[in-house]
Amino acid sequence: MRLKGKRVLVTGAARGIGESIAELFAAEGAMVIVSDIQDELGQKVAAKLGECARYIHLDVSKEADWIEASRQISAEYGGLDVLVNNAGIAGILETSGPHDPENLDIDSWHAVHQVNLDGVALGCKYGIRLMKASLSASIVNISSRSGIIGIPFATAYASSKAAVRNHTKSVALYCAEKHYPIRCNSIHPGAIYTPIWDAMLGEGEQRERAIEVIASEIPLGTMGEPKDVAYAALYLASDEAKYVTGIEMNIDGGILAGSSASPPSDDV
């Protein structure tokens, strides 16, 4: 029960890494607020978790949604102890593109940044306000290994995730200087098998071969699971990490430790 009594908000929690974080946090004693724009999926996640969870609609790119979410959380829970800014898009499927630096479509660029960067900035803004009265609070921002290295054909995604990495440090220092009981850290997953890969991997034997190729280039020899990221988030959210703020934690099977760090153009 490492999060017993903690009030937690997880964005983008309807599937993938966000869903896994919500499940693990609930199992560790937290009261979890599941949020997403995919209402049906998000409601199913909250229902699966039972009485320790509830669902709210939250488009992280819209400040009005954050204001309403803050109002609900204040009214029902009196504040917040943990915020996981997980919601994000790769942009390749969600926008018209292209996303390379020479031909990038500026509207697609803005759309990716509105979700991945503005969503995190707004989350931190309203999260800080909800957490200032907590005894021990934590913001966990989900960035990416793509926020540390370049991605030639997904520049908006890489740029947005790099900005999340830096904004995390600014928030950490701001909260420390204000003597707020709030820590802020970022997690940088790489090669985690989630639904975002479906369109890139194909089906059947093609999918199996694609996974084998990806795994062969990872030092630990396999793709990661959403729960691998969830356990990292659990540590940073818990009071075990009370002296940890402003760091970046890589969950990538060792990719960033060596020369294979640069992924192929469609691997974000």
Catalytic residues: 157
For 204, the 3-state DSSP assignment is helix
DSSP of 79-142: S-SEEEE-----STTTS----STTT--HHHHHHHHIIIIIHHHHHHHHHHHHHTTSSSEEEEEE
Q: Dihedral sign, CA of 4, 253, 255, 153? A: negative
- Indicate the burial class of 22 (C-beta count within 10 angstroms; 0-12, 13-18, 19 or more): buried
For residue 115, the tally of other CB atoms under 10 A from its CB is 21
End-to-end CA distance of the chain: 33
What's the rounded Cα separation, in Å, for the pair 182 and 169?
A: 12
What's the rounded Cα separation, in Å, for the pair 71 and 65?
A: 10
